[in-house]
Amino acid sequence: VQPVALPTPRSTGPVVVRGCALIDRYWYGAVDLISPEAPVPVVLITREEERIGGAANVASNVVALGAKASLLTVVGDDDASHKLEALVAGTGIAPHFGRDPALQTTVKLRIIGRQQQLIRLDFENTPKREVLASQTAAFRNLLASHDAVLFSDYGKGGLDHVHEMIELARNAGKPVLIDPKGSDYSRYSGASVITPNRAELQHVVGDWRDEDDLRTKAQGLRQKLGLDALLLTRSEEGMTLFDALGQLHVNAQARAVFDVTGAGDTVIATLATLVAAGLNLRAAMPLANRAGGIVVGKFGTATVSYDELFAAP
């Protein structure tokens, strides 16, 4: 794909990202011993690192491509929330944080030894519905100044009002892109596109026997929910778009896979950024696929820049 035929970063419209923002925390260490207390490795921590994750990583991917992003999320009033704010402040993302004093800001702690993840520890709980309801008003205020809406659902209870926000966005003429979770997709009815992976789609429609059966189930779900499209991300098999014209498939980019963490974030962020710039989903999908192929070659939650995306192969 030649970048000269596509929008430049400066022409790309802003994207509002709504979802659960979190901290991805990494502790790196040496593993030289097995504990005498249990058959587990002893990790001597030598380095710590913190990165923004969840919806914040999605928004960061939008910014990395040269576009503007507003992040609408709910956090606690704890040390992790203040750290998250500081990390977001350094990215160029416009933050719109709602605070719930009873909420524990989500932190995912990964212990890394011998170049591999040994264990992940999650710290989280669910925000109050009252705080989530207040985010709908903030969302309404942001709509007019943004060209696309992206919902990043991490199944943490942060998108209880998503159906109302989808309706607001579509009535305002904004494309709505959703990275879904769970088994009840009815709450995503009316969206422009949802981007489940294989396991997520199987959880909703069941297993498929072959490509024909997959097409029938995917198109059936798309029509039932009133979606413009359904984009199935298929890992090493690439991705397939199902829409009113039929289906379009692109193969995975041939790259070494180092870490798949956050790859879905990069794919939908790229898709939303290009749709906000005026591309249709069929034109944007191969570039989103390429971005996913680039980011899996990086460690942890990472981003893809505009220059990386359009570099000569």
Quote the tokens at residue 106: 């989500």
Q: Which of 100, 153, 179, 265 is catalytic?
A: 265
Q: Which of 195, 145, 148, 138 lies closest to 170 in space, CA to CA?
A: 148
> Which residue, among 123, 137, 133, has the nearest Cα to 100 in the 3D structure?
133
Residue 256 · residue 45 · CB < 8 Å: no
Residues 6+ apart with CB under 8 A from 95: 70, 71, 73, 85, 88, 89
How many angstroms separate the Cα of 185 from the Cα of each of 87, 165, 167? 32, 15, 15
- Is residue 265 among the annotated active site residues? yes
Helices (H), the chain: 55-64, 79-89, 129-143, 162-171, 198-205, 211-225, 263-276, 281-295, 306-309
Using the structure block, give the residue that is written with the tokens 């397939």.
Answer: 240
- CB atoms < 10 A from the CB of 299, how many? 12
User: Which residue type is seen at 248?
Assistant: L
CB contact set of 64 (below 8 Å; sequence gap of 6+): 303, 304, 305, 306
Catalytic residues: 265
